[in-house]
Amino acid sequence: MQLELADAAATDALGHRLAPGMLAGIVYLHGELGAGKTALARAILRGRGYAGTVRSPTYTLVEPYEIGDSTVYHLDLYRLSDPEELEWLGLRDMLAGEQTLLLVEWPERGEGVLPPADIRITLQHRDTGRTVNIEAETTRGHQMMGLLESI
Ligand SMILES: Nc1ncnc2c1ncn2[C@@H]1O[C@H](COP(=O)(O)OP(=O)(O)OP(=O)(O)O)[C@@H](O)[C@H]1O
Ligand SMILES: [Mg+2]
C-alpha cells in the first residue's frame, strides 16, 4: 500500500490510523535520516493512548512505553555497531511478552538477530512531503493492517 503524506500532519494522521491495529508485533521503519520514522512512531504511540513525551531513541537505542497491559518498545538501531549488541539491549526480554509491539528504526543494523518484520514501512522524501509504503509480511502483519485497509 502506497500513500502520499503531504506534510507532518499527514504522517501524524497515518500513525493514528495504524495505531488500533498495532497491539503486538514487529514493525520495521525504513527511510533515510529525517524521513519521518520517529514522527510516525510517535504518532502510533499517541494513537495507542500514550500521552507522555516520546523522545527519539537516538542515543538510548531503545525507549520502552507501558500502555495499559502492553508494552511498546521504540528502537533506533542507527548507532548499533553489531547486530549481536541487541542482546545487550535486552531483545530477548522484549520478545518474551505477548502484548508487545516493537517499532524499529534502522532495522537493517540488526539484520540476522532481529526477528523478521510483521509490517515493513518505508518513508521517502517527495518534494516537501513524503511517500510511505506499507507492506504486511506475515499473517499477523495482515491482521495488523486489516483495520487500515478497510478505511
Ligand atoms: N509527511 C511529511 N512531510 C513533511 N515533513 C514531515 C512529514 N512527516 C514528518 N515530517 C517531518 O520530518 C522530520 C522527520 O524527522 P524524524 O526525526 O521523524 O526522522 P527520522 O526518519 O526518524 O530520522 P532519523 O533516521 O534521524 O531517526 C520531522 O521534522 C517531521 O516533522
Ligand atoms: Mg528517528
Render pLDDT for 29-61 as a digit per residue (tens, 0 to 9): 999 999 999 999 999 999 999 999 999 999 999
| Category of 44 on φ-ψ map: left (φ > 0), alpha (ψ -120 to 50) or beta | alpha
Q: Which helix (H) or strand (E) holds 141?
A: helix 139-149
| Model pTM score | 0.96
DSSP bridge partners of 3: 132
Residue 143: CB atoms within 10 Å: 15
Q: What is the pLDDT of residue 150?
A: 57
Quick check: CB of 5 below 6 Å from ligand 1? yes
Residue 6 has pLDDT above 60, yes or no: yes
Tell me the one-letter amino acid at 42: R
| Ligand having the closest approach to the CA of 4 | 1
Q: Is 22 in the pocket of ligand 1 (CB under 6 A)?
A: no
Q: What pLDDT score was predicted for residue 147?
A: 67
Mean pLDDT estimate for the chain: 95
Q: Which three cell numbers stand for residue 145?
A: 493492517
Kindly state if the Cβ of 11 falls inside 6 Å of ligand 1: yes
Q: Give the list of residues 6+ apart from residue 70 with CB closer than 8 angstroms, or none.
A: 23, 24, 97, 99, 100, 101
Give the start-end residues of each E strand in the chain: 2-5, 25-30, 62-67, 70-76, 100-105, 119-126, 129-136
* Interval 86-125: pLDDT, tens: 999 999 999 998 899 999 999 999 999 999 999 999 999 9
- Ligand 1 atom, smallest distance to 42 CA: 18
